[in-house]
């Protein structure tokens, strides 16, 4: 299949210069759609949709059978490659300063290559007087989770209380902490620390130099099978090497931001 350079340029302009045409193609990537379904899904002015559909037909990206539209063979090839790029642009859209001003070294290359999986992101920046408080919009899903796995390299004063509350609610919890953060928890938050131990929370200590500030995985938040698999592996390894302890050591090199684990090569 050969497409001339001028034609390809026209196709790229056709797709990326119109949010509505991009949405039509994304919708049709799910399968053939009746015109009424397209109008209902896009929730726009019906009169504004038909001209965009015509342009996509004229460029042979979609075909029509009576009132039903679907991607052409060329359209399927192009949209299959368009969607990852669209998701990648959405991940950075409106958040350029966040990505340019933060240290991206803790993000391993194999995850950076999949950053398009984030899709559209909302940047929730706390006010200065709330900088070290746990995000209010995450408290409710955290408290109702049955599984909590988290990593912290900075101290959040709200976290011990939240973690103890989750443990009291019966959640299965793995905490991976920087050693200094662990010492703060153990010495300055003794009631919460006691509850955490009594409820069988597993604590893992990490001393690597390059690390993210934090990440949280629950039933609803940051569900990532590959990251879950890495944590499963290192938890099993740490527990097998540290018997009869309340806390376990995780060595530098064990976490995904130290190196690329085997799980990403499968």
Most confident of 18-32, 184-198, 211-225, 229-243: 184-198
Render pLDDT for 118-148 as a digit per residue (tens, 0 to 9): 777 777 776 777 667 777 777 888 888 898 8
User: What is the pLDDT, as a whole number, of residue 181?
Assistant: 87
pLDDT tens-place string over residues 177-224: 888 888 899 899 999 999 998 998 888 887 776 566 777 788 776 644
Token pair belonging to 208: 């690597």
Is residue 212 within 8 A of residue 187, CB to CB? The reply is no
pLDDT in tens, 62-110: 999 988 999 999 889 888 888 777 777 777 776 777 777 777 777 767 7
Do residues 63 and 72 lie in contact, with contact meaning Cβ atoms separated by under 8 Å?
A: yes
Q: Report the C-alpha gap between 183 and 179 in whole angstroms.
A: 6
State the chain's mean pLDDT as an integer: 75
Report phi then psi at 55, rounded to 5: -65, -40
**Structure token pair of residue 196:** 């955490």
Q: Give the number of residues written for the chain.
A: 266
Mean pLDDT of the 30-39 span:
90
The answer to whether the CB of 216 falls within 8 A of the CB of 148 is yes
Structure tokens at 125: 């920046």
Which domains are seen in the chain, by residue range?
5-92 (1.10.10.10), 126-265 (3.30.870)
More confident residue, 149 or 96: 149
Q: What is the pTM of this model?
A: 0.53
> ∠ at Cα 114 (98, 251), nearest 5°?
85
Q: Are strands 62-65 and 68-71 parallel, antiparallel or unpaired?
A: antiparallel
């Amino acid at each position: 299949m050969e497409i001339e350079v001028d034609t390809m340029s026209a196709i790229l302009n056709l797709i990326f210069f119109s949010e509505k045409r991009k949405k039509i193609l994304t919708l049709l990537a799910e399968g053939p759609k009746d015109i009424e379904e397209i109008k209902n899904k896009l929730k726009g002015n019906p009169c504004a949709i038909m001209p965009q559909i015509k342009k996509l037909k004229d460029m042979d990206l979609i075909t029509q059978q009576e009132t039903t539209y679907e991607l052409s063979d060329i359209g399927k090839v192009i949209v299959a490659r368009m969607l990852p790029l669209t998701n990648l642009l959405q991940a950075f859209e409106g958040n350029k300063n966040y990505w340019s001003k933060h240290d991206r070294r803790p993000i391993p290359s194999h995850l950076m290559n999949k950053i398009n999986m984030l899709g559209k992101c909302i940047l929730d920046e706390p006010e200065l007087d709330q900088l070290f408080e746990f995000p209010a919009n995450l408290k409710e899903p955290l408290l109702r989770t049955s599984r909590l796995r988290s990593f912290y390299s900075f101290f959040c004063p709200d976290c011990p209380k939240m973690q103890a509350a989750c443990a009291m609610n019966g959640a299965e919890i793995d905490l991976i902490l920087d050693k200094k953060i662990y010492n703060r928890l153990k010495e300055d938050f003794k009631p919460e620390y006691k509850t955490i131990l009594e409820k069988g929370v597993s604590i893992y200590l990490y001393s690597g130099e390059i690390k993210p500030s934090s990440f949280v995985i629950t039933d609803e938040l940051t569900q990532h099978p590959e990251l879950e698999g890495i944590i499963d592996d290192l938890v099993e390894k740490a527990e097998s090497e540290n018997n009869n302890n309340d806390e376990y050591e995780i060595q530098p090199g064990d976490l995904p931001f130290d190196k690329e684990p085997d799980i990403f090569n499968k």
